[in-house]
Amino acid sequence: MDPVPPLPDQPRITNATLSDVARAAGVSAITVSRALNQPHLVRPGTLAKIQAAVRETGYAKNRAPAEHGTDRSKLVALILPTVANPIFADMVQAASDKLTDAGYQLLLGLASYEVWREEILVETVLSRRPDGIILTGTLHSDNTRRRLQSISIPIVETWDLTPFPIDMLVGFSHEEVGNTVAARMLTKGYRRFAILTADDPRASRRHLGLQAALGRQGIEVVATDVVPTPASLQLGREGCARLLARHPDIELVICSSDTLAQGAMTEAVSRGLRIPDDLAILGFGDLNFAAHTYPPLSSVRVDGSLIGALAAHAIVERLTGVPPAKRMPAVTDTGFQLIERGST
């Protein structure tokens, strides 16, 4: 079907307005507006005339005056660090689907894990008067918090929990992840822990939780290696190599993402280490590939799609006037799950 020659039809009248359509249809502008937005309020005959006139004039809807007049933009902003991390890509996909279904469009802002970027993005985004905002994390600049608290649209913070959300919250406790991992790995007999983490605030929280939990058992993390975001297999290999160089006797490397973990495994295997006997490795995210590495990767499963869908859902519920009693709670713990597959 492709390539295709240029279509014969010539450009229609661009920028036809409602009045143009109205004139062509022999009705008033407001009737055209109704025909387009609330067709059930218009008599079928009139509707047909108007539809013909729309085609004839090549009319394309124009939301700018509508937004100006009504202050409803049908826009929802999603602000996240990056879309290169598959857990965020999943979130975007799920949020986009839900929002599109509900008649909203997605304004995307990527903040690269930097609070100051987020601040700028929020300010820019607010200039479009979005009907709702989805943020990543609960760590924002004071300006951002103040600005967001002063407005009355639904806001969802995601991927985290906090006692002081700006508005709504969909996520899980990163400290709790650390606790759970510590408890389980101690049970399995590991004592010499290393951390391989990307430079990401939520990952740090998980590892602080881990260290605290280990500390309560009198155990210290032997070594920590921090790599820049976004993580890659290469960074995982290199990080693992540094850890092993400094501390050849570590038993377990806990990684802040599956990608780092897979890179670390590659390094370990290439050195002839047996996994998990010589070196155990734990990932985070539990991405699709975790079940398909050699050996299959143990990982903490979190669900980006779920977070995206729930966040979008929370916003749409508010906007469509679902009564508070029937809405999802303002704080939703999406949970996580430690999955063991053979690398620990």
- Residues lying near DNA in the complex (CB under 7 A) are found at 15, 17-19, 27-31, 33-34, 36-37, 41-43, 45-46, 61-62, 64-66, 68-70
229 in contact with its own copies (CB under 8 A): no
List binders of its own copies among 53-92 (CB under 8 A).
58, 60-65, 67-68, 71, 73, 82-84, 86, 89-90, 92
Question: Which lies closer to its own copies via its Cβ, residue 48 or residue 84?
Answer: 84
Is residue 17 a contact point for its own copies (CB under 8 A)?
no
Interaction partner, residue 43 (DNA, its own copies, none; CB < 5-8 Å by kind): DNA
Contacts of residues 111-118 at CB distance under 8 Å and 24 or more positions apart, as own/partner, are 111/79, 111/80, 111/81, 111/136, 112/81, 112/82, 112/229, 113/81, 113/82, 113/199, 113/200, 113/201, 113/229, 115/139, 115/140, 115/141, 115/144, 116/141, 118/79, 118/144
**Does residue 197 belong to the site contacting its own copies (CB under 8 A)?**
no
Binding map of its own copies across residues 266-305, x = CB under 8 A, - = no contact? x---------------------xx-xx-x-----------
State which of positions 234-263 bind its own copies (CB under 8 A): 234, 237, 262-263
Q: Which does 320 bind (CB under 5 to 8 A by kind): its own copies, DNA, none?
A: none
Residue 31 binds which entry of DNA, its own copies, none, CB below 5-8 Å type-dependent: DNA
Site pattern 298..337 for its own copies (x: CB under 8 A)? ----------------------------------------
Among positions 102, 221, 226, 233, the unique one binding its own copies when judged by CB under 8 A: 233
